[in-house]
């Protein structure tokens, strides 16, 4: 049994025990949420391991790819914060990393001098085109046992869960 499979077995046993003493525990939903977190965390660890030799984190690389795929290869830090699910302070750190690596430049917008824009450099484009294909086998491998129909269903279901989470967080009145 692999490390992730062992963790899932431990999770199942723990939730089963907890359900015996916690009335109304939504067992199926708790298991699903924990599975999402565990698999996501495992994938993130793998991505981070592959990016570490380049001095990058997942959030750095995701941001680079958002700039790479943005119209004209440019985006403002504010736009990137929302898309990358990062706060302004962390986006500043990410921009600093990408500028230091020579993958993006930071400059005032031509249209609005008050707005800062990050633009991908030729080196950033080359890096993205070089690194991405090396990640493809891992991406394919993660979903290897799923049929095309199952992948489509998983995509649909995860988007529905994301919509539910958006509704919950939009109406959450907790401090």
C-alpha dihedral, 149 to 150 to 154 to 160, nearest 10°: 50
**CA 118 – CA 116 distance, rounded (Å):** 7
Phi–psi pair at 172, nearest 5 degrees: -75, 120
**CA 13 – CA 29 distance, rounded (Å):** 15
Q: Measure Cα distances from 166 to 29, 104, 172 in Å.
A: 17, 31, 10
Going from the first residue of the chain to its last (175 residues), give the mean pLDDT of each consecutive group of 10, the final group possibly shorter.
86 93 93 93 89 92 94 87 83 93 89 84 96 90 94 96 89 63
Instruction: Give the closest residue to 91 by CA, choosing from 69, 70, 118.
Output: 118
Q: Measure Cα distances from 54 to 62, 103, 151 in Å.
A: 14, 11, 31
Q: Measure Cα distances from 168 to 6, 65, 165 in Å.
A: 31, 29, 5
| pLDDT score, position 4 | 87
| pLDDT score, position 19 | 92
| pLDDT score, position 147 | 97
Which pTM does this prediction carry? 0.82
| pLDDT score, position 135 | 87
């Amino acid at each position: 049994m692999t490390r992730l499979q062992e963790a899932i077995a431990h999770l199942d046993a723990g939730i089963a025990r907890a359900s015996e003493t916690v009335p109304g525990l939504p067992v199926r939903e708790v298991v699903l949420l924990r599975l999402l977190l565990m698999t996501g965390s495992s994938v993130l660890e793998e991505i981070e391991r592959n990016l570490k030799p380049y001095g990058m984190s997942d959030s750095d690389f995701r941001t680079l790819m958002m700039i790479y795929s943005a119209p004209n290869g440019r985006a403002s830090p504010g736009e990137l914060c929302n898309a990358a699910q990062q706060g302004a302070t962390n986006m500043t750190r990410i921009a600093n990393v990408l500028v230091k690596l020579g993958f993006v430049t930071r400059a005032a917008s031509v249209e609005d001098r008050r707005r800062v824009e990050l633009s991908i450099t030729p080196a950033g484009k080359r890096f993205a085109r070089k690194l991405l294909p090396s990640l493809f086998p891992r991406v394919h491998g993660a979903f290897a046992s799923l049929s095309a129909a199952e992948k489509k269903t998983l995509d649909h279901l995860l988007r529905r869960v994301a919509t539910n989470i958006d509704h919950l967080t939009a109406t959450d009145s907790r401090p």
